[in-house]
Amino acid sequence: MPPTYVMLLWHMHQPFYKDLAEDLYAMPWVRLHALKDYYGMVAVLKEFPNVHVTFNLVPSLLAQLNDYAQETAREEDYEIAFRPVEALTREARERLLDFAFRLNRDNLLYRYPRFRELFERARATRNQEGAARLFTLQDLLDLQVLSQLAWFDEIYLAQDPAIRALTKKGRGYSEADKVVLRKKGIEIFKVTLEEYAEASRRGQVEISTSPFYHPILPLLCDTNVAVESHPGVKLPRRRFQHPEDARAQLRAAVELHERFFGTRPRGLWPSEGSVSDEVLALAMQEGFEWTATDEGVLGRSLQVGFYRQADGTMASGQELYRPHRFVAGDKGISIFFRDHQLSDLIGFVYSRIDAQAAAADLHQRIRAAGRSMGNRPALISIILDGENAWEFFPGNGREFLRAFYGRLASDSSLRAVTASEALGVTEPGKLTHVVPGSWISANFDIWIGADEDNRAWDLLSEARDFFAAKSGDPRLDPAKVRLAEQELWIAEGSDWCWWYGPEHSSGHDEEFDRLFRTHLSNIYRLLGGSPPDQLAVPIKRPAVKAKVSPPTGRIAPRVDGQVTSYFEWLGAGVYSPDYRSSSMHGGAQCVDALYFGNNDRALYVRLDLVEKFREDYPQFEVRVNVDGENRARIQAWVEQGKLGTVQFWRRDEQMLVPLGTGNQLQVAFNRIFELRLDYALAGHAPGQTAHFQVSLWAEDLPLQVIPPEGWLTLELTEDLTGW
């Protein structure tokens, strides 16, 4: 068999958080991800010299990293974290208690007992003002140190003696410790870019680029292009059509890349994998040799579907597992299409299982996918975010990466190559037209169409027209005109409309909204104008958190897998998942709602599944865990839309339980999943507390856990008011 080539591309990006007019960073995420992700992701590759990888470094991220490395970045949270504790004002203490705990609890915060102690104490007071009064100076000093130390990359934690000493100390930190910590942070900022440059020089890493401030290039060229991928989409009132801005952002990206790395980038990752014929032609004209997007764009362009078979191969793999050459006139550019499933397994699933098992699963799936090409070489493109997923992995995902890279390096049938190395390994396909789209649903719905998105585009369009009308005025300071142009480009970035609309909510929506409107306002101010009043009005509506309604009465529904009557679940509690709170898109969205309740004999659970989930997964598994003395677990398999095997476990021992007889346990699936579990079987009784959790699995991998933070609690009282 010919070898299977693996082209792995890690995309590194953060929004541009700097207000250029004020020279101030509004949010700390570039700095914190620099501590946690960017250095370790490239440094770990030294352990696997035969594994070649592509990194996409967005220019606006590089510019921000360089600010921190040169110690020129002004950021209030950064300053407060290292200010002498006795000099912290009341307002600064409250802000510290706000931003210090904005991190993953299980994998970052809870690994430091003192950090967890401070978090629990702050949470008990219910607000930063109360906690700020109760915390001693030593509490605040420990919080300053631990809130930064928790973000340090696992590799740096292991190899640096000073950082190891701070980790071991655990509490009772001094001002001198804080000085050491700040110095080590700056070391990481400085060495990070050097590590990427060195890895590139030794040929193990290829570095590609994106348009400077990460705009959605097809929409920048013409917002009307969204109609082809989504006929009937609601467009902004004003048509935005500025391909000259797209070209300018590409040229600025190349210029910065050459300045940082001394070479011209061969590859372009278009922001969010967004492509169109016009964008591909533009990339060719600007000298790029390859680009990439998602398999969904290829499928729509060729009008084929990519369906995985039971053995892991793909009937249409001969198209997906090779690059394609897009040709326009006498020019061409190669396009890689990512394997959506393999990429999303890393991004959204493997964090929930053992690292070695996850690496083994990915390894065998890659080998199976390679067999799709028969006797021809296969090129499998795995492309995903290289930073945001890792906080959900124990140990920042480093054990998983080592296990996966180790398998790639030791398997002689696999070769991990950079994108440029991959161009000649197999015969490319040919395209003369691509259906415009991104790596999310092969359209642009995340960034255009919703009322909030369209309002942002209209405000941007008005500011762009103002810039065009005023920037040529010879009386204006040229430096201010250049700064206004940068503010315009920043406002053209993809990140603002990522958070606008119904799809996502960041937990920092007000800050993102305010920063976007600030960038637009700066354009008017820098060019001698007055920002319009509408820029003072927030665009983003208040976020709606996941909704949990407690039970209000006893229930006794018929367990038949369908909604026999609306009233049979009346009185049940309802958990409605929130799918908008992640900076990544594509996590499992399987469940519309979970209903739960009880009567004096049994606990009831109902799952309403998303229609797309039922279409995509004809075979899946539902697991219901009930915590307590007996540790009950029910596993139910659905095959081809029908309930199959059901197993019941108690104290980790399997028990045979009659099903469908009304005795102790009932399970059913049709349109919905329903379950009835007797207290006697679960080891509970009225008056006790039940803790339960529901998870969905497919192909032995967890897709979604409800609730993701742990367990739902149900007080088994007769009147149910104690939930």
CA-atom Rg of the chain in angstroms: 27
pLDDT over 90 (residue 685): no
DSSP state of 600: S
What do you get for the CA distance between the two ends of the chain, in Å? Answer: 60
Q: Which two tokens stand for residue 337?
A: 């299409």
Lowest-confidence segment of 69-83, 504-518, 645-659 by average pLDDT = 645-659
CA–CA gap between residue 618 and residue 289 (Å, rounded): 40
The answer to whether 602 and 677 are in contact (CB under 8 A) is: yes
pLDDT in the model for residue 660: 44
pLDDT in the model for residue 618: 86
Q: What is the pLDDT of residues 350-364, one digit of tens each?
A: 999 999 999 999 999
CA–CA gap between residue 516 and residue 531 (Å, rounded): 13
State the residue for tokens 């082809």: 228
Instruction: For residue 593, give the 3-state DSSP assignment.
Output: strand
State the average pLDDT over residues 446-465.
97
Q: Which residue has the higher pLDDT, 330 or 140?
A: 140
pLDDT in the model for residue 722: 37
Q: What is the pLDDT of residues 623-634, one digit of tens each?
A: 898 876 667 888
CA–CA gap between residue 304 and residue 298 (Å, rounded): 8
3-state secondary structure 283-317: HHHCCCCEEEEEHHHHHHHHCCCCCECCCCCECCH
pLDDT over 70 (residue 104): yes
Cα angle for residues 49, 52, 54 (degrees, 5° grid):
140
CA–CA gap between residue 677 and residue 685 (Å, rounded): 12
The answer to whether 270 and 326 are in contact (CB under 8 A) is: no
Name the amino acid, one letter, at 387: E
Ranges of each domain in the chain: 451-536, 547-715
The CATH architecture annotation of domain 547-715 reads Sandwich (2.60)
Lowest-confidence segment of 312-321, 408-417, 690-699 by average pLDDT = 690-699
State the average pLDDT over residues 542-561.
82
pTM: 0.87
Q: Which residue has the higher pLDDT, 5 or 664?
A: 5
pLDDT over 70 (residue 47): yes
> Which pairs with CB-CB distance under 8 Å and at least 24 residues apart come from 718-723?
718/554, 718/600, 718/686, 720/550, 720/551, 720/552, 720/553, 720/554, 720/571, 720/597, 720/598, 723/550, 723/551, 723/573
Instruction: For residue 453, give the 3-state DSSP assignment.
Output: helix
Instruction: For residue 172, give the 3-state DSSP assignment.
Output: coil
Q: What is the pLDDT of residues 281-303, one digit of tens each?
A: 999 999 999 999 999 999 999 99
CA–CA gap between residue 636 and residue 661 (Å, rounded): 17
Q: Do 451-536 and 547-715 share a fold?
A: no
Cα angle for residues 398, 402, 407 (degrees, 5° grid):
150
> How many other CB atoms are there within 10 angstroms of residue 158's CB atom?
12
Going by pLDDT thresholds of 50, 70 and 90, the confidence category of residue 124 is: confident
Lowest-confidence segment of 41-50, 167-176, 596-605 by average pLDDT = 596-605
Q: Which two tokens stand for residue 197?
A: 């440059």
State the average pLDDT over residues 506-516.
87
pLDDT in the model for residue 661: 45
pLDDT over 70 (residue 657): no
Query: Which CA distances in Å does 240 have to 246, 457, 465, 514?
Result: 12, 7, 10, 22
pLDDT over 70 (residue 723): no
The answer to whether 56 and 208 are in contact (CB under 8 A) is: yes
CA–CA gap between residue 226 and residue 622 (Å, rounded): 38
Of 153, 132, 178, 187, nearest to 33 by C-alpha is: 153
The answer to whether 192 and 152 are in contact (CB under 8 A) is: no
Q: Which residue has the higher pLDDT, 708 or 63?
A: 63
State the average pLDDT over residues 329-356.
94
Question: What homologous superfamily is domain 451-536 in, according to CATH?
Answer: Families 57/38 glycoside transferase, middle domain (1.20.1430.10)
State the average pLDDT over residues 43-56.
97
Name the amino acid, one letter, at 165: A
Q: Which residues pair with 383 in a beta bridge?
A: 9
The answer to whether 522 and 21 are in contact (CB under 8 A) is: yes
The answer to whether 136 and 111 are in contact (CB under 8 A) is: no
The mean pLDDT of the chain is 91
pLDDT in the model for residue 8: 98
pLDDT in the model for residue 721: 41
The answer to whether 11 and 385 are in contact (CB under 8 A) is: yes
The answer to whether 273 and 292 are in contact (CB under 8 A) is: yes
Q: What is the pLDDT of residues 128-173, one digit of tens each?
A: 677 788 899 999 999 999 999 999 988 888 889 999 999 999 999 9
pLDDT over 80 (residue 718): no
State the average pLDDT over residues 222-237.
97
CA–CA gap between residue 400 and residue 40 (Å, rounded): 13
